[in-house]
Amino acid sequence: MKYYIIAGEASGDLHAANLMRAIKQEDPEAEFRFWGGDLMQKAGGTTVKHYRDLAFMGFAEVLLNLRTILSNISFCKKDITAWQPDVLIFVDYPGFNLRIAKWARKEGFKTHFYISPQIWAWKENRIKEIRRDIDEMYVILPFEKEFYEEKHQFDVHFVGHPLIDAIANRPQVDISEFKSRHQLDERPVIALLPGSRKQEISKMLKTMLSITGDFEEYQFVIAGAPSQDPEFYAPYIKKKNVHLVMNQTYDVLSLATAALVTSGTATLETALFKVPEVVCYKGSFISYEIAKRIIKLDYISLVNLVMDREVVKELIQKDFNKKNLKIELKKILSEENRTKMFEDYHDLELKLGGTGASKKTAALIVKSISSTSKNDI
């Protein structure tokens, strides 16, 4: 069968790639055509567009790039029509994917959504679009099933979080070889995860690096995003105890003592690696002022949202400054605070449903479209 997959960000590329491999186990004849990244390319199939050409962050940035976004939507519809897939699989990236889903449902294509849009955080009225345009929804956070089924009477599949599998199945890193290759010394590593988009990296790294002189007994390692070129980070790595490691975030986290992490999927990845962290966020003034009036949540990090309490400290907008960052980093380097955080991380992993998310989702997708295809004959 033919699977058309749309993933618009680095995290979607990871989860879609694992899903593709799982689908191949269920359907050895599977053909893939996709919008995604390098990991999906390695999984096999035909790349239509790379996600680095799709990702725009914040309200203002979206408006400035509206013409490009509309052009991509038009092109996507034409490409789907030409290829005639058995199913469309949308991986997060809701602003784009829900627009395609609305059109696709009218055209008679099967629409499956893997990794729910975060409508529980904002734009809850999107439930109307989802109920109308999505045949099957696969959610990865435990509270999402209750949100959809009890609050909105829309049946979904809770499959567990795919990050657990991604981390468990990663190749083990040779720490000595890794340090030698990247010219790291024996000091403990503090990982810096400033995000994947140019806008957020620029906002985050300057403040993150402002404290390096106060922690000379540590070395700071920037986890470079696969969507960026190493040259982009050049202005940020001039300090003597700052290093850049490109496209190896999991390897960096596997040897990190602590981490400063931009809010997003990376906060959960860091927790699953059992690395104490401080969650950071700073958006453009306009985007932040709009967001805080729309989003009604007690927390911004997935760690705290899943646990429904503060497990990791969040420094947001004005609170994200050198003084606060220094204070909070010192806290997570203290043994007492680290022990408590490790215990909370263990409970977090249990709540996320264990291993097998990609396999469960693949089996449900293949079964669904196989059944539909038989009924159509």
- 167-211, pLDDT tens digit by residue? 988 888 999 999 999 999 999 999 999 998 888 898 899 999 999
The pLDDT value given to residue 197: 83
Confidence class for position 374, pLDDT limits 50, 70, 90? very low
The DSSP line for 289-312 is HHHHHH---S-SSHHHHHHTS-SS
Domains of the chain from N-terminus onward: 2-160+356-376 (3.40.50.2000), 172-351 (3.40.50.2000)
How far CA 219 is from CA of 189, 213, 222, in Å, comes to: 5, 10, 10
Instruction: Please answer whether residues 189 and 274 qualify as being in contact, where contact means their C-beta atoms are separated by less than 8 angstroms.
Output: no
Q: What is the pLDDT of residues 249-287, one digit of tens each?
A: 999 999 999 999 999 889 999 999 999 999 999 876 665
The pLDDT value given to residue 351: 92
Q: Is residue 294 pLDDT above 90, yes or no?
A: no
Separation of alpha carbons 76 and 145, rounded Å? 30
Q: What is the pLDDT of residues 53-77, one digit of tens each?
A: 775 555 455 555 667 778 899 999 9
Mean pLDDT, residues 133-155: 96
| pLDDT, the chain, mean | 91
Mean pLDDT, residues 231-256: 93
Q: How would you class 177 by CB atoms within 10 Å of its CB: exposed for 0-12, middle for 13-18, buried for 19 or more? A: exposed
Mean pLDDT, residues 90-116: 96
Mean pLDDT, residues 14-26: 95
Query: Rounded to two decimals, what is the model's pTM?
Result: 0.81
* Lowest mean per-residue pLDDT among 98-107, 148-157, 239-248: 239-248
Instruction: Please answer whether residues 324 and 259 qualify as being in contact, where contact means their C-beta atoms are separated by less than 8 angstroms.
Output: no
